């Protein structure tokens, strides 16, 4: 299996300075140079209209935010490229859906999207508007990401209204020329045209210089009447394996993105099939460990990673919230409740999942910056970063975490919970923060993790409890290099020591000094 190495940076193209070229220049500054081997650029780099890039119109580069020369510059800096492929849906504004709206049943994209009534034909009754309501035994199997049925009502050229499957965001805005529809419309995985589109998109990614492709929302793609619309089997595996072969033909590595409870075991099944996995369990475990002084759940998770040989990508913050659904099975329900209470008491906002009746069925994530989740305590935050960098797997660093970003309540109030952790930083703010001790110390650790030979493929990793926390050691396959983290959970301090070649131990500056 193709491997992922080094430390990964994660940002929108306009996160730092306003354009992707500004981030490229920032990564080449002395303070940042050598910190990262990969850059995960979020999909506002493409043509999009909703959900901060995840409602893709086209996978062509958005000229307002990026240009091909920026990607070439990253390659020249030996920074690999990681891009998003939103498998489950496309924007209403996509050429394919616009053709469907304009030509109706005559469109060549007639089966590219999912006509809700056709999908459920014979398995329910229509209401007074003509929308088919599936029978309860089918409806109760659906996994909802928003209240109500996952549909968007749209006008067709023949004067009729049609309902199309819409799992995620939607919006209808009134304009001078009538309603303007926005939405992420689910694709029909049974359509050959959809698979042609997937192939064309992977070709584009390869031309951009991509090394890794993240499969966003892939678990919602396969749909079949009478089954769940989330990770049903064997259809989801069949789709995923078909995509992997397409990626291998282009020398691309796929990273499937899925949120599910640890107790469901989906992460284990992905790993058994030799897919790398997201470590969505680590963020909550790190907060639990540092806030309570209890390293047990984190150590058990590290043990599972090592015993099962998982290839992971881990993070603190990211463009989504801090996962809490995921740690069911690793933390007790009371511990998860305490975790949620801690983060929300510091300004975090809880996101839930819903049943078909619109009622909450489970908590999902808490939206907050990771820095604010720790009450903007430098000691706790830096300890979490140290733990992340010594965890098995590849560390992903969210730009706002790197610059110690705080919760943006105004953005969350106007744009939704997720915007609390997506603030764009202007050049002047970057200049103010790049010299802060919490930023300097992170960069020191990140550069060490990115360069030191004890880390990476083949590394031997040991983790053990200590009287006041835990200790994690990574050593190179040949034993010539070794790095050790001693984490004190009682006072949120840490010490990093290392040796290479001459067997003399050295140390990074301990925290606190």
Number of CB atoms found within 10 A of residue 458's CB: 10
Distance in angstroms (rounded) separating the CA atoms of residues 492 and 352: 31
Distance in angstroms (rounded) separating the CA atoms of residues 92 and 170: 9
Phi and psi for 236 in degrees, rounded to 5?
-60, -40
At 304, which helix (H) or strand (E)? Answer: helix 296-308
CA torsion 54-57-61-66 (nearest 10°) is -50
CA end-to-end distance (rounded Å), the chain: 42
Structure tokens at 493: 């301090």
Q: Using an 8 Å Cβ cutoff, are 24 and 55 in contact? A: no
Q: Using an 8 Å Cβ cutoff, are 390 and 508 in contact? A: no
Phi and psi for 268 in degrees, rounded to 5?
-70, -40
Q: Using an 8 Å Cβ cutoff, are 91 and 170 in contact? A: no
Place of tokens 């997201």: 278
Residues serving a catalytic function are 216, 257
Tell how far CA 62 is from the center of its chain: 21
Phi-psi category of 78—alpha, beta or left, where left has phi over 0 and alpha has psi -120 to 50? left
Secondary structure percentages of the chain, helix, strand, coil, to 5? 35, 25, 40
Specify the long-range contacts of residues 187-191, CB closer than 8 Å, at least 24 apart.
187/87, 187/88, 187/89, 187/90, 187/112, 187/113, 187/114, 187/221, 188/111, 188/112, 188/113, 188/114, 189/221, 189/222, 189/223, 189/235, 189/239, 190/111, 191/111, 191/112
Structure tokens at 475: 């050593």
């Amino acid at each position: 299996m193709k491997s992922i190495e080094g430390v990964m940076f994660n940002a929108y193209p306009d996160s730092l300075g306003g354009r992707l070229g500004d981030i490229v220049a920032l990564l080449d500054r002395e303070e940042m140079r050598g910190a990262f081997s990969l850059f995960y650029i979020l999909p506002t780099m493409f043509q999009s209209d909703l959900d901060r890039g995840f409602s893709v119109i086209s996978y062509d580069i958005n000229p307002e935010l990026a240009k091909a020369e920026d990607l070439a510059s990253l390659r020249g800096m030996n920074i690999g490229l990681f891009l998003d492929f939103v498998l489950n849906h496309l924007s209403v504004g996509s050429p394919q859906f616009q053709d469907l709206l304009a030509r109706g049943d005559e469109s060549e994209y007639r089966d590219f999207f999912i006509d809700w009534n056709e999908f459920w034909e014979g398995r329910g009754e229509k209401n007074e508007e003509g929308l088919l309501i599936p029978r309860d035994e089918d409806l109760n199997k659906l996994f909802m990401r928003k209240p109500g049925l996952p549909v968007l009502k749209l006008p067709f050229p023949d004067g009729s209204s049609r309902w199309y499957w819409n799992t995620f965001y939607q919006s209808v805005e009134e304009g001078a020329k009538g309603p303007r529809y926005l939405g992420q419309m689910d694709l029909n995985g049974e359509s050959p045209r959809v698979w042609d589109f997937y192939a064309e998109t992977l070709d584009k990614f390869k031309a951009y210089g991509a090394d890794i492709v993240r499969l966003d929302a892939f678990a919602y793609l396969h749909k079949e009447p009478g089954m769940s619309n989330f990770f049903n089997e064997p259809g989801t595996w069949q789709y995923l394996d078909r995509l992997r072969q397409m990626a291998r033909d282009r020398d691309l590595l796929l990273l499937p993105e899925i949120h599910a409870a640890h107790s469901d075991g989906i992460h284990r099944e992905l790993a058994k099939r030799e897919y790398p996995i997201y470590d969505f369990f680590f963020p909550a475990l790190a907060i639990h460990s540092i806030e309570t002084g209890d390293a047990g759940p984190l150590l058990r998770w590290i043990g599972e990673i090592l015993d099962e040989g998982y290839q992971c990508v881990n993070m603190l913050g990211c463009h989504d919230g801090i996962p809490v659904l995921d740690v069911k099975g690793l933390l007790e329900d009371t511990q998860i409740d305490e975790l949620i209470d801690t983060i929300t008491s510091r300004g975090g906002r809880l996101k839930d999942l819903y049943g078909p009746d619109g009622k909450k069925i489970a908590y999902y994530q808490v939206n907050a910056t990771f820095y604010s989740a720790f009450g903007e305590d430098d000691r706790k935050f830096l300890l979490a970063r140290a733990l992340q960098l010594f965890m098995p797997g590849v560390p992903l660093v969210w730009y706002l975490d790197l610059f110690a970003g705080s919760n943006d309540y105004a953005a969350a109030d106007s744009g939704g919970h997720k915007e609390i952790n997506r603030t764009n930083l202007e050049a002047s703010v970057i200049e103010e923060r790049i010299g802060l001790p919490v930023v300097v110390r992170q960069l020191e650790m990140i550069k060490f993790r990115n360069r030191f030979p004890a880390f990476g493929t083949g590394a031997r990793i040991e983790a053990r409890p200590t009287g006041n926390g835990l200790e994690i050691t990574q050593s190179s396959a040949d034993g010539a290099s070794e790095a050790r983290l001693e984490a004190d959970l009682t006072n949120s301090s840490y010490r990093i020591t290392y040796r290479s070649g001459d067997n003399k131990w050295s140390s990074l500056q301990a925290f606190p000094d």
